Structure 1
């Protein structure tokens, strides 16, 4: 069976991590899988792709050349004669690739919704209009609808569509807390005497890390040892660095960059804060819970991301000072073991891989 995995951008994001973890835990003996993307922005995960014997194909190398990308995609579908096209998408316009696949004779066309909103921008209203039109028109070319959350399904698919919830599974045992490594990491980072508020994700407008700087202003007033650890890269980094300098926080914010060692960084933190305007799911929230780490999330994060008591949801409208108060109230929390809770809730990547393989091969989940 030949399967094409499609995503718009290949970098260091949540979709890429989820797909690779799933594939590494899936029986692929009778599957031939290619990963097809519009644009590649990082080589960080390429060694894992190559280790599995997969091929990564880049279309035009730009996300702005839709017609060129669609033409190249359709030509690839005709050439390779895939049995399944598996679209991992953030916006409904990407369902146009299902149309191209259908025209090329691909019988099974799956759309897996990972997004629940569009990032803030000057063209957001136009993009939202195109999104609404696209989901009502191009969804007709989809044969199976999957989503990582109810919010993602509501955003991506027409009202009333029958979709399957696919848990964003993780390698749970990889995240189980290790106090010795925590101390080692904090020493290496120079954070051994600090209260570490952390965030893991792309530095971008929709992730709203600027709000974390506002929280830190209030937090450090009553907790002078508070610092912010940002793990990730993105287009907002320079603006965030400038904002931190203006707020007098330059010595309180550590821009770590991207890392494949997220478990150790979560162990080094005292609280994970997710202030996103929108999240399709927020897989790092599950990773943090597996690490026994308290998590404070905005309402942009779907409720499915909080299966344990470690997670608290709070509106961004409450303001940075209230967020700081909630963080302070959780200081000194003891790490708790959540592995079995998360496995029972379906967030073990082994379980996810079995479900997805069954859907690929039989059309039914196990």
Structure 2
């Protein structure tokens, strides 16, 4: 009989980095394990239908989905209680699980504690991001959650040293498991960059302040001011309507509307990457940045902020400080474009076909 695994998402099953990892696990290990999925949105998203083809169930405990900031704040503070009660009901109705694999950062805490109460033997907490500064109340709540998660997790894993320290602290045992990319989809296209044509930049990631798309728009303006015909492609779901409007306002302010293209997060990203010239990732922080690996896997040279873990460099990344400004970034990109030569890129250690065995080992621990 297959072991039963409950995968706990960070939110829904949209086309994001965490979700891509979970779906890769399901695709590769469904012959050995039965997977169910716990989501925190009522929306049907990119991977929902595909996940159901593997025979598992989707459970939903939606967060508050309205637009009232006050109710959002209240929901955040009472969410643990609501999740505890609804997940308890799920555990009472379903066959016992052998593994619970949580991808919900600090909110893993109450889920792991309940899983321990229901004697789920393998309880995995996974760190995906580096947490920024919060207000005093949230910081105290997260510290409390950290202690609970560390107590009840049997395995602590993360995509980088910094992500693990951010979620678990440096004083506990954890294991780094590389984020992987789907090497069946992302692979070199043997493309050459033609320096006499339009330079196409591409950025992948949720449209949000952390991903810093406004900065990319400013970089584009400076590249064009340096005499290079260039355009920018932005791929990602709108995670913050206010921030996207700021990006749109910046595009209009700089008269760049015809040079910036938006693509939804559920587009075939590998195709857009393979028809672009270079990748830009000016994030304020990232737990890892799997999109950088995917970009290099198709052969794109990348320009990324120096807050991103250097382990993402497979031979094709220039790390730049955001404090140096968009003109500096633009100058670096133009210099690369004028003197283009292919990078010696090796993304093999991040291939799904290799990393997946680490998850199989974790799920089979007794």
Determine if contact 1:3/1:32 at 8 Å carries over to the other structure: yes
Match of residue 172, structure 2, among 139, 161, 165: 161
- Mapping of 1:279-294 within 5 angstroms? 279-294=286-301
Shift of 1:125: 4.9
Determine if contact 1:22/1:352 at 8 Å carries over to the other structure: no
Q: Distance in 2 between matches of 1:329 and 1:135?
A: 45
Determine if contact 2:301/2:343 at 8 Å carries over to the other structure: no
1:315 corresponds to? 321
Go from structure 1 to structure 2 and tell me whether the alpha carbon gap of 1:14 and 1:210 turns closer, same or farther (over 3 Å shift). same
2:183 corresponds to? 172
Determine if contact 2:130/2:162 at 8 Å carries over to the other structure: yes
Q: Distance in 1 between matches of 2:108 and 2:231?
A: 39
1:152 corresponds to? 163
Go from structure 1 to structure 2 and tell me whether the alpha carbon gap of 1:20 and 1:125 turns closer, same or farther (over 3 Å shift). same
Is 1:24 equivalent to 2:27 in the alignment? yes
Shift of 1:195: 0.6
2:85 corresponds to? 71
Is 1:101 equivalent to 2:106 in the alignment? no
TM-score (norm. length: structure 2): 0.87
Determine if contact 1:295/1:311 at 8 Å carries over to the other structure: yes
Give 3-state SS (helix, strand or coil) of 1:167's partner.
Answer: coil
Count of aligned positions: 345
Determine if contact 2:26/2:35 at 8 Å carries over to the other structure: no
Q: Distance in 2 between matches of 1:335 and 1:258?
A: 28
Match of residue 351, structure 2, among 348, 354, 358: 348
Determine if contact 1:114/1:152 at 8 Å carries over to the other structure: yes
TM-score (norm. length: structure 1): 0.87
Q: Distance in 2 between matches of 1:21 and 1:68?
A: 29
1:57 corresponds to? 59
Q: Distance in 1 between matches of 2:321 and 2:188?
A: 29
Give 3-state SS (helix, strand or coil) of 1:330's partner.
Answer: helix
Q: Distance in 1 between matches of 2:169 and 2:190?
A: 47
Go from structure 1 to structure 2 and tell me whether the alpha carbon gap of 1:327 and 1:146 turns closer, same or farther (over 3 Å shift). same
- Mapping of 1:265-276 within 5 angstroms? 265-276=272-283
1:186 corresponds to? none
Give 3-state SS (helix, strand or coil) of 1:313's partner.
Answer: strand
Give 3-state SS (helix, strand or coil) of 2:41's partner.
Answer: strand
- Structure 1: give runs of 5+ residues left out of the alignment: 184-191
1:87 corresponds to? 102
RMSD: 2.3
Shift of 1:336: 4.3
C-alpha offsets along residues 298-353 of structure 1, whole Å, 9 cap, x if unaligned?
123112211x2201111111111111111112115244463xx322xx21101121
Shift of 1:175: 2.0
Q: Distance in 2 between matches of 1:362 and 1:105?
A: 15
Match of residue 218, structure 1, among 222, 225, 237: 222
Q: Distance in 1 between matches of 2:135 and 2:303?
A: 27
Determine if contact 2:15/2:46 at 8 Å carries over to the other structure: yes
